[in-house]
Amino acid sequence: MKLYDKNALDCSRITATNYSTSFSLGIRLFKKKYRPAIYAIYGYVRFADEIVDTFHEQNKEELLNKLREDTWQAIHAGFSYNPIIHSFQKVVNTYKIDRQYIEAFLHSMEMDLHQKTFHPEELKIYIYGSAEVIGLMCLRVFYSNREEEFDDLIYPARKLGEAFQKVNFLRDIRADYHDKGRIYFPGINLENFSEEQKKKIEKDIAFDFSEAKTGISKLNPDVRLGVYLAYTYYLKLLEKIRKTTPREILHKRYRVSSTTKIILLFKAWSRYILKKI
């Protein structure tokens, strides 16, 4: 089983790395003992995300239901022949990940199959399941059997996940609308997307980042730099988007360049060494 476990984890690591260079670099900055579990979590959520966003010629609902069934069976049995699910169940059972987080995540994936627009309360439910619980799963890995510290960081961890997700919404607003028919921001008509609406969304995201930052400084030093780096990447992306017009954001997908990422890594490392984060 040790060889199978290693192979399964390699599959999760490769999946996480292929789909997000920003997050994978942040993970590599964690102390080594935390990396396998975080790769397993991100590999699993990317696997699920592919089902709802990419497998257009397949029966997505059937595949998602099968993923749900296989996930719970694997957690119960402590094994799966699917390497991505196997790595994930191992983390769930080892770190006693709250089952409610998993159900919330799968529910949000299901919402993506059936919903094209979201009311405010629906959006809260969606973001909680699609982003916030991912941060909470990681937080449980960072603070295994350390309940008081875990509880103290729940709110900022959720706000960081919320900020990341909303930046993704804004960055991908054109593709989500034209390719998938989705509009995540309530009350927005993209045919008349105004500067005022864009600024309101950006102000809301900036608040989430501000609330999240208070928790980063409290994080275990073994993982603080990696989380802070992901925070700075997304904050930089938000800053870049804020300089654009509504028309520009609807016609171009903005990203942080590799050069800028290297600069941000150097700055983050310097602040970490000087104990300024």
Structural domains of the chain ordered from first start: 2-273 (1.10.600.10)
Query: What is the pLDDT at residue 1?
Result: 84
Query: What is the pLDDT at residue 188?
Result: 87
Query: What is the pLDDT at residue 24?
Result: 85
For CA atoms 200, 206, 211, 212, the dihedral sign is positive
Q: Name the H helices within 2-119.
A: 2-19, 21-28, 35-53, 60-77, 83-95, 99-114
Other CB atoms within 10 A of residue 99 CB: 11
For CA atoms 108, 207, 161, 183, the dihedral sign is positive
- C-alpha span between 182 and 245 (Å, rounded): 21
Element housing 226 (H / E): helix 221-242
Query: What is the pLDDT at residue 25?
Result: 87
Query: What is the pLDDT at residue 194?
Result: 93
Q: Are 182 and 112 in contact (CB under 8 A)?
A: yes
pLDDT by residue (tens digit) across 68-102? Answer: 999 999 999 999 999 999 999 999 999 999 999 99
Query: What is the pLDDT at residue 212?
Result: 97
The residues that bridge with 183 in the sheet, in sequence order, are: 117
Per-residue confidence of the chain (277 residues) as pLDDT tens digits?
A: 889 999 999 999 999 999 887 788 899 999 999 999 999 999 999 999 999 999 989 999 999 999 999 999 999 999 999 999 999 999 999 999 999 999 999 999 999 999 989 999 999 999 999 999 999 999 999 999 999 999 999 999 999 999 999 999 999 998 888 888 899 999 888 888 999 999 999 999 999 999 999 999 999 999 999 999 999 999 999 999 999 999 999 989 999 999 999 999 999 999 999 989 9
Element housing 160 (H / E): helix 147-171
pLDDT by residue (tens digit) across 36-79? Answer: 999 999 999 999 999 999 998 999 999 999 999 999 999 999 99
- And the tokens for 168? 């993704």
Question: Cα dist. 33→3, 61, 193, 223 in Å?
Answer: 18, 36, 46, 10
- Residue 49 — left, alpha, or beta (φ > 0 → left; ψ -120 to 50 → alpha)? alpha
DSSP string, 233-268: HHHHHHHHHHTS-HHHHTT------HHHHHHHHHHH
For CA atoms 124, 129, 130, 135, the dihedral sign is positive
Query: What is the pLDDT at residue 152?
Result: 97
Calculate Rg over the CA atoms of the chain: 19
206: Cα separation from own chain's centroid: 17
- Of the CA atoms within 13 Å of residue 206, those in its CB half-sphere come to 11
Q: How many residues does the chain have?
A: 277
Residue linked to tokens 């937080």: 139
- Residue 275 — left, alpha, or beta (φ > 0 → left; ψ -120 to 50 → alpha)? left
Q: pTM for the complete prediction? A: 0.94
Other CB atoms within 10 A of residue 28 CB: 13
- C-alpha span between 22 and 25 (Å, rounded): 5
